[in-house]
Amino acid sequence: MKKLIFVLVDGLRCDTAFRHMGFMEHLLEMGAASRYRVRSELPSMSRPIYETLMTGMPVLEHGIFSNEVSRLSKEENLFGLARENGLTTAAAAYCWFSELYNRAPFNPVTDRLQLDADLPIQNGLFYFKDVTGAYPDSHLIADAEALRQRFNPDFLLVHPMNTDDAGHKSGSDSSDYVKSVIMIDYILSNTIPIWLGSGYTVLVTGDHGINPWGWHGGNGDDERLVPLYIMGPAAAGGDFSETEIPQRMLAPLCCDLLGIPRGKKMLQPALPGLKES
């Protein structure tokens, strides 16, 4: 059985990750990870890109044009495809993922914890405050590990938000933003070895970057370029970041890593440095 953990660090700039994520870069140096550079979709905003990451569809086609579009996805997505193929799904994530794939609008009382085998995200633990420090990344990673230990999901989404929060508050050139990147790298250094030891392939990426003025949504490299680290059985190891990968390639890549058919509208993934894709 192929198993995948998808870590989406919200607001993670590519250059900041390559410079300051010491644990990830250590795995790269040791040949235990493959590293890539990904160009995000436009607009480089969170909710549209969440949908692109989970469906492989461009924004113009999936119709989630901004963060204000609050409705269920109408496209084939990773959670639904995994469930349809007999896999177990889970997510520790911001409530917008619940609104895209389980229930919309999000009700904090009834929807924070969702355990329902008939939903695309069968085992979900969702937070709903995203201001700086409101829901610490340490708590979110603990949520994800609790879901993993209890339900043994085949596909688990892990979505920490503090990096994006720090970027909005202080800008990408600030010490607060850099510290948030260093901190999530540190937190992941305590859990990724456990996940790898449990047989998971682990992906770590960002949805979008952030600019020095504390915003994103536009076409600049600081807002669009994000990292992708792949660890586990599929990763041959090595730096393949000289060639940019379109963000739409991640959803079909996840399907291949899970061993399930891709969505009908998804791209054919082609990444160097993978043992299987």
pLDDT digits (tens, 9 = 90+) for 196-246: 999 999 999 999 999 999 899 999 999 999 999 999 998 889 999 998 999
Across the range 151-155, mean pLDDT stands at 98
Determine the Cα angle at 112 with ends 155 and 59, to 5°: 60
Q: Residue 61: which pLDDT band, with cuts at 50, 70 and 90?
A: very high
Tell me the pTM.
Answer: 0.96
For the sheet with 155-158, list strands across it: 113-115, 123-127, 89-94, 155-158, 3-8, 200-205, 225-231, 33-39, 238-246
Average of per-residue pLDDT values in the chain: 95
Quick one: tokens of 15?
Answer: 């250059």
How many percent of the chain have pLDDT more than 70? 97
Q: Where are the domains of the chain?
A: 3-258
- 277: pLDDT strictly greater than 50: no
Strands (E) located in the chain: 3-8, 33-39, 89-94, 113-115, 123-127, 155-158, 200-205, 225-231, 238-246
Q: State residue 203's pLDDT score.
A: 98
First to last CA, the chain: 15
Lowest mean pLDDT among 28-32, 154-158, 240-244: 240-244
- 19: pLDDT strictly greater than 80: yes
- 59: pLDDT strictly greater than 70: yes
Quick one: tokens of 101?
Answer: 């794939």
Pairing of strands 200-205, 225-231: antiparallel
Pairing of strands 155-158, 238-246: unpaired
Lowest mean pLDDT among 27-31, 38-42, 208-212, 268-272: 268-272
Across the range 29-57, mean pLDDT stands at 97
Q: State residue 199's pLDDT score.
A: 96
Lowest mean pLDDT among 129-133, 161-165, 175-179: 129-133
Cis-peptide, bond into residue 108, ω within 30° of zero: no
Query: Which one has a higher pLDDT value, 1 or 36?
Result: 36
Lowest mean pLDDT among 6-10, 12-16, 233-237: 233-237
Cis-peptide, bond into residue 212, ω within 30° of zero: no
Across the range 71-80, mean pLDDT stands at 97
Q: State residue 159's pLDDT score.
A: 98
Q: Tally helices (H) and strands (E) across the chain.
A: 13, 9
What does the DSSP 8-state code read for residue 233?
Answer: T
Q: State residue 274's pLDDT score.
A: 85
Dihedral in degrees, nearest 10, Cα atoms 86, 92, 94, 99: 30
Q: State residue 132's pLDDT score.
A: 56
- 276: pLDDT strictly greater than 60: no
The answer to whether domain 3-258 has CATH 3.40.50.300 is: no
Strands (E) located in 67-221: 89-94, 113-115, 123-127, 155-158, 200-205
How many percent of the chain have pLDDT more than 90? 92
Quick one: tokens of 6?
Answer: 């998808």
The whole-angstrom separation of Cα 205 and Cα 254 is: 13
The whole-angstrom separation of Cα 52 and Cα 62 is: 8
What does the DSSP 8-state code read for residue 42?
Answer: S
